[in-house]
């Protein structure tokens, strides 16, 4: 089962490697990981997408909580949440395909952020499944390069993570 987990951590050196080391040392999967500081300078937030059965997920969240630098772990399987991911996509854009690519970009409310006579670079934002969908349409036209951020997630409603 796929889980998206937010990990609220102290904004200190070495924290990322503690978290990454925990996953590799215990054989847990990481599908994606993104990390950046939050509105509080001393706190960073990681979003980790992982997979495993219920027992593994329980161990993952327990082990994350056990790390001294981890302040809070939120497993979004238990909560109503929104996920967003960004992709930068470089596609071949020969004359015959240019109009079709623009149409796809328009449908997905994506943006062209760089143009050459032979290529477009597209910025797309949305849920991971939306990114998958635009990629599926662009792939036959010739994907030259793809960068995905991995999703970030936030709980729905008025409350922040501190409750």
Binding site for other proteins (CB under 8 A): 9-10, 13-14, 17-18, 21, 25, 55, 58-59, 62-63, 65-71
Query: Between residues 66 and 118, which has the closer beta carbon with respect to other proteins?
Result: 66
Query: Between residues 37 and 132, which has the closer beta carbon with respect to other proteins?
Result: 37
81 pairs with which residues across the strands?
A: 155
Query: Between residues 70 and 101, which has the closer beta carbon with respect to other proteins?
Result: 70
Report d(CA 16, CA 110) in Å as an integer. 31
Query: Between residues 17 and 116, which has the closer beta carbon with respect to other proteins?
Result: 17
Residue 144 and residue 90 in contact, taking contact as beta carbons nearer than 8 Å: yes
Q: How far is the CB of 161 from other proteins (least distance, A)?
A: 13
Helices (H), ranges, the chain:
15-25, 54-66, 95-107, 128-142
Strand, coil or helix: 122 = strand
Q: How far is the CB of 59 from other proteins (least distance, A)?
A: 6
Residue 125 and residue 113 in contact, taking contact as beta carbons nearer than 8 Å: no
Q: How far is the CB of 160 from other proteins (least distance, A)?
A: 15
């Amino acid at each position: 089962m796929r889980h998206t987990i937010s990990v609220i951590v102290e904004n200190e050196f070495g924290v990322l490697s503690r978290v990454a080391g925990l996953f590799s040392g215990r054989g847990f999967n990481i599908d994606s990981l993104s990390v950046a500081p939050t509105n509080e300078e001393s706190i960073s937030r990681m979003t980790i997408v992982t997979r495993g059965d219920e027992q593994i997920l329980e161990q993952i969240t327990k082990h994350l909580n056990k790390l001294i630098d981890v302040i809070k772990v939120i497993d979004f399987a238990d909560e109503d949440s929104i996920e967003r991911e960004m992709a930068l996509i470089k596609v071949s854009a020969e004359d015959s395909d240019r109009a079709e690519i623009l149409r796809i970009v328009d449908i997905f409310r994506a943006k062209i952020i760089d143009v050459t006579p032979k290529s477009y670079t597209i910025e797309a934002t949305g849920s991971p499944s939306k990114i998958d969908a635009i990629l599926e349409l662009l792939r036959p036209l010739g994907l030259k390069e793809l960068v995905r951020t991995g999703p970030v997630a936030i709980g729905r409603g008025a409350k922040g993570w501190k409750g």
